[in-house]
A and B are shown apart, each in its own frame.
Chain A
Amino acid sequence: DAKTTQPPSMDCAEGRAANLPCNHSTISGNEYVYWYRQIHSQGPQYIIHGLKNNETNEMASLIITEDRKSSTLILPHATLRDTAVYYCIVRALRGTGNQFYFGTGTSLTVIP
């Protein structure tokens, strides 16, 4: 089953782009990459997901490498409210159930 690896922490200056990497070298062809974030004391919040093409929504962009072994979440203009733990998740389908493997997460601190 595919697992993910993320750096434990990152800093980003307010107003700059935050680029959060994730490695998922054992990902299989039908597995999606999801990104969630968790602000202190709250439940995780969905950000974006993708299969193989790059994706963009109002919150972020997701860049997936051609071999799908890694991806990068981009917050184009980070604000202080983006300070959170960001989780990169690979969705695996097993029988009738689903396993969501949350990685260690990256603690992003946006600095004024």
Chain B
Amino acid sequence: GAGVSQSPSNKVTEKGKDVELRCDPISGHTALYWYRQSLGQGLEFLIYFQGNSAPDKSGLPSDRFSAERTGGSVSTLTIQRTQQEDSAVYLCASSLRPLAGMETQYFGPGTRLLVL
């Protein structure tokens, strides 16, 4: 596709359930980022993937959060045992050459997660 896509666009789940959020980056982009945005708040960095390097997980808020990127393309963010405070918009972005000093991140539309 032409841009970053995310699925599902909306997800409602019950407290304690696990959820998986998917991100398809722009073809050829080596870097992939996950952020989350709580209602009325700014973006919070979660995790970063670059090529085959070990991901930067420093933004993950707890060990209930994990992410993987298969084949250097699609990424899945998993939240285990969801809590109400996990309710937010989860945004994915990709970029072409982040270590070349010239980076533009292209964002997807986000997945709106609501934990009841």
Q: What is A's interface to B at a CB cutoff of 8 Å?
A: 32, 36, 42-46, 49, 87, 91, 93-105
Complex Cα distance A96/B48, Å?
Answer: 9
Question: Are B107 and A44 closer than 8 Å at their CB atoms?
Answer: yes
B42 within 8 A of A: yes
Question: Are A87 and B59 closer than 8 Å at their CB atoms?
Answer: no
Question: Are A98 and B91 closer than 8 Å at their CB atoms?
Answer: no
B25 within 8 A of A: no
Complex interface bits, B40-63 against A, C-beta within 8 A gives 1, otherwise 0? 001111001010011110110000
In the complex, chain B residues whose CB is within 8 Å of the CB of A87: 42-43
Among listed B11-19, B71-79, B80-88, B98-106, interface-contacting one: B98-106
A-B contact pairs, 22 of them (CB 8 A): A32-B101, A42-B109, A43-B108, A43-B109, A44-B43, A44-B91, A45-B107, A46-B105, A49-B104, A87-B42, A93-B99, A96-B53, A97-B50, A97-B56, A98-B48, A98-B98, A99-B58, A99-B59, A100-B35, A100-B43, A102-B43, A103-B42
Question: Are A97 and B105 closer than 8 Å at their CB atoms?
Answer: no
Closest to A45 in B: B107
In the complex, chain A residues whose CB is within 8 Å of the CB of B35: 100, 102
Most B CB within 10 A of own CB, among A36, A44, A99: A44
* Known contacts A43-B91, A43-B108, A44-B43; A94 and B56 CB within 8 A of each other: yes
Q: Which residue in B42, B48, B50, B108 is a CB contact (below 8 Å) of A102? A: B42
In the complex, chain B residues whose CB is within 8 Å of the CB of A96: 50, 53-54, 56
Most B CB within 10 A of own CB, among A94, A99, A105: A99
In the complex, chain B residues whose CB is within 8 Å of the CB of A43: 4, 91, 93, 107-110
| A36-B105, A43-B110 known, 7 other contacts, Cβ within 8 Å | A32-B101, A44-B107, A87-B42, A95-B56, A96-B53, A100-B43, A105-B42
In the complex, chain A residues whose CB is within 8 Å of the CB of B55: 97
